[in-house]
Amino acid sequence: MATLGDVMAYLCEHYPHKQELSKARLAKLIYLADWKSAIERGEQMTNIVWVYNYHGPYVEDVAQEAEVNPAFKVRSTYNPYGNPKDLIELARPQGYPSLTEDDKRIIDSVIASTAEKNWNEFIRLVYSTYPIITQNRFSKLDLVELARRYADDKAS
């Protein structure tokens, strides 16, 4: 299983619009990678326990990793209305020893599906995934079990 730090580092290095990599966007990109991995391989890429909270699938793990892992730096900026916005950046290039070629293929696919989407389209995509469509807010998302159910629903 890939470490969260390696998945974040790969996304920070390969996502084409780095000024968009806020904590919220990065967390949702990792959710999409975990969901795609669950659909295609029957297992998550990371060991995050996803929760459907008020703002969709979100966990604090990503923000915490960015704070404690020296490979990352959090740059605080402001939007034009003065609201704070934290961008996660790679402090120094590093390898991704825990990522397999298949992991990288899945992350590349998620990047290709999302990079040209504006925030509205991106959030719509996240909210259109089977776990968010079918599960109740504030519930834990067992992505592996939900991927199995998704396959069953499609087959029936």
Partner 1 sequence: MAREETWLVRSAYFVQYNWSQLLTAGGTAGSTVTGVLLGIKNWESLWTARILWGLFVLFVSLTLGGISATLWRTRGWRSLEGELESLQGTLGDIQQIYTELFEGQLAIFSGRSLEFGHSERISVYRHEEEGFAMVGRYSANPEFSKKPGRVYPHNEGVIGKAWQEGYAEVDNLPDPESETEEYFRCQQEDWGIERATVERFTMKSRNYVAFALKDPVFSHPIAVIVFESTEVGKLSLKELELALTTTEGQRIVQFLISLRSIEPRLSYASREDL
Total chain residues near partner 1 (CB under 8 A):
35
In whole angstroms, what is the distance from residue 131 CA to residue 133 CA?
6
Is 4 a binding residue for partner 1 by CB under 8 A? The answer is no
Identify the residue among 42, 49, 55, 105 touching partner 1 (CB under 8 A).
Answer: 55
Residues found in the chain: 156
In whole angstroms, what is the distance from residue 54 CA to residue 109 CA?
27
How large is the C-alpha radius of gyration of the chain?
15
Identify the residue among 15, 35, 72, 96 touching partner 1 (CB under 8 A).
Answer: 35
In whole angstroms, what is the distance from residue 97 CA to residue 108 CA?
16
In whole angstroms, what is the distance from residue 81 CA to residue 102 CA?
41
Identify the residue among 68, 76, 81, 138 touching partner 1 (CB under 8 A).
Answer: 81
Give the type of residue at 51.
Answer: V
In whole angstroms, what is the distance from residue 20 CA to residue 13 CA?
13
Distance between the two ends of the chain, CA-based, in angstroms?
31
Residues numbered 101 to 140 that lie near partner 1 (CB under 8 A) are 109-110, 113, 118-120, 122-125, 127-130, 132-136
Which residue number, 93 or 156, has a Cβ lying nearer to partner 1?
156
In whole angstroms, what is the distance from residue 98 CA to residue 95 CA?
9
Is 89 a binding residue for partner 1 by CB under 8 A? The answer is no
Tell the smallest beta-carbon distance from residue 133 to partner 1 (Å): 5
Which residue number, 22 or 94, has a Cβ lying nearer to partner 1?
22
Tell the smallest beta-carbon distance from residue 53 to partner 1 (Å): 11
Contact footprint for partner 1 (CB under 8 A): 32, 35-36, 39, 54-56, 79-81, 83, 109-110, 113, 118-120, 122-125, 127-130, 132-136, 149-150, 153-154, 156
